Structures are given as structure tokens and as C-alpha cells.
Amino acid sequence: MSIVVTGATGNLGRLVVEGLLEKVPADQVTAVVRSAEKAADLAGRGVRIAVADYTAPETLHGLFSTGDKVLLVSSPEFEGRFGKHRAVLDAARAAGVALFAYTSALSALSSSLADDHRETEAAIIASGLPYVLLRNGWYNENYTEQLAPVLEYGVVTQAAGEGRVAAAARADYAAAAVAVLTGEGHEGRAYELSGDTAFGFADYAAELSRQTGREIGYNAVSAEAFTGILTGAGLSAQVAAILVDVEASIAKGEMAGTPGELSRLIGRSTTPIGDSITVALKN
């Protein structure tokens, strides 16, 4: 039996593997990657490395074994996303894995942003495999990894109005996945995961001001203006549209929920945005 993590050299997948290595022997962990070179450090620690690609179903044949626990980290590429997920699910079902966990999206059943996730969830449930749905909310790092322009211009620019977002650190969501993959009694559950507290972007700007000693304000712009900013920074129209939709969702309060399921799963409080800012400013 192995615990298999797809996308294992990605930002979230690597944190999951690191967390697993604190819980189980390395030879019980399989990291599925597109590039073995990027996983050389994990291989050196005894993790089994499997090279496969969501877009090439033939590379998934024989990847899983009966009794494996699998974490499908959702594809970061939006085009053909469900088909990629389906290829992994089909291979896992053919092998008869013991558990199939999937990183979905917060409020996947109702969110206008989660069509691919809803479709994937439905296929997982229909597969007959024991499953867990990890409906991840927004990451603190979605903001703290983009601090350069904020610090350069002294302003946080968003199209979320006065909306609030209950974000948590990426490591918090990784810890939840580890808890599910190494624990018991999670089968058939759909966990709504978000931070313990929600913050608005005026709050975010104020915290940046406090920690940097500089005056940083919040500039709430229209969706159209935000689209122009994103495409002007080099993002594709498709990605810009998705991010603008996220802003609209935040403005409507759809990402402010704090049900506490994330902190209960990981056995501690989630990481406040201020802590993530501190880490980002040191890097």
C-alpha cells in the first residue's frame, strides 16, 4: 500500500509530501510528477517517484495499486481540466484504490467558479470508490506572493469592494490533506475548508502598513479596471476573467465563511494573514 500524491512538485503537492514524511515511512509515499528531475530531492529521501502526466492517460496505466490512498491535486491548467482529472480517476478506479481524495473548491456545489470541480466531484462519487472531497478555500499566498507591486506603489488594488475572504496558508490546506490520508473515518466526507477569520482588503493594507512602517492604502476598482490591470501585467484574458470572477465572489461574501472544518482537521488554528505577510516580507 502506498499513499500517492499527484502534482507532487507543485506548491501544494510538495507540502503534502513533506507532511506525509513526518507521519509515515518514505517508502510508503509515491510522488507523481511530470519531471523526475524536479523530484530528485524527494527520491533522495526514499520517496518513490512516478513520472506521469494528466494529459497522457497512457502514463497513468499501472500507476496505482489495490489498497493505495490517492490524492488528486486539481490541475492548475484550466483548459480541459475535467478530462485530466477523469484520466487519473479512471486509472485509480481500475486499480481499486482504497481511498480517492480530491482538492476541490470551497462551496463547490454552489459557487459560480467551480464548474470543473463540480463535474470532477460528481465523477468521483459515481465511480464507487471510497472518497474524500477537500474543498479548499483561498490561500493567503495568493496575496502575499504578489507583494512586489504593492510595495512599489504603496497600494493594494482589488475589485472586491468591501468583501472579506477567509483565506488560510497553503500549508494549512496541505496539513488537512495529510490528516485525511493518514487518518481514519473520512470516507464519504466533503470538507468545506477555510481560514478561521475573514479579512477585508482594507484590513490587509493596514497590516502591510503596520509591518512595513509605510503607508499602504486600499484602492477598490471596478471589474473592468481590474481586468485591464491583469491583462496589462501579462495574464491571458481567460486567467484574468477567472480572477475577476473571484473578486466578484469575494464582494458578494461567498468566500467569507468560517465553518472551522480546516482547523478541526489539522488540530490547530489556521495561519492568520498577518503571519503569512511576515514570512513573505522576510523572503
Which DSSP string do the residues of 110-169 spell out, in sequence order?
T-TT-HHHHHHHHHHHHHT--EEEEEE--BTHHHHTTHHHHHHHTEEEES-TT-EE--B-
What per-residue confidence (pLDDT) applies to 68? 97
- Find cell 488528486 and name the residue: 72
Distance, CA of 4 to CA of 20 (rounded, Å):
10
Is it the case that residue 214 has pLDDT exceeding 70?
yes
Chain segment 48-80, per-residue pLDDT in tens: 999 999 888 899 989 999 999 999 999 888 778
Residue, of 240 and 20, whose pLDDT is higher:
20
C-alpha cell at 127: 465511480
The mean pLDDT of 165-170, rounded to a whole number, is 98
What per-residue confidence (pLDDT) applies to 110? 78
pTM assigned to the model: 0.95
Instruction: Give me the residue spans of the domains in the chain.
Output: 3-136, 137-168+194-257+272-283
Chain segment 246-255, per-residue pLDDT in tens: 999 999 998 9
Average pLDDT, the chain: 95
**CATH class of segment(s) 3-136:** alpha beta
The mean pLDDT of 117-135, rounded to a whole number, is 96
What architecture does CATH give domain 137-168+194-257+272-283?
Answer: Alpha-Beta Complex (3.90)
C-alpha cell at 168: 488560510
Residues 6 or more apart in contact with residue 100 via CB below 8 angstroms:
70, 72, 89, 92, 124, 127, 129, 130, 131, 132
Q: Is the dihedral of CA 234, 251, 108, 166 positive or negative?
A: positive
Distance, CA of 5 to CA of 30 (rounded, Å):
6
Is it the case that residue 107 has pLDDT exceeding 90?
no
Residues 6 or more apart in contact with residue 106 via CB below 8 angstroms:
135, 136, 137, 138, 192, 193, 194, 255, 257
Is it the case that residue 213 has pLDDT exceeding 80?
yes
The mean pLDDT of 157-168, rounded to a whole number, is 97
DSSP structure class, residue 200: E
Quickly count: other Cβ atoms within 10 Å of residue 211's Cβ.
Answer: 14
What per-residue confidence (pLDDT) applies to 112? 67
The mean pLDDT of 224-252, rounded to a whole number, is 92
- Find cell 478530462 and name the residue: 83
Chain segment 15-43, per-residue pLDDT in tens: 999 999 999 999 999 999 999 999 999 99
> In the structure, what pLDDT confidence band is assigned to residue 114 with cuts at 50, 70 and 90?
confident
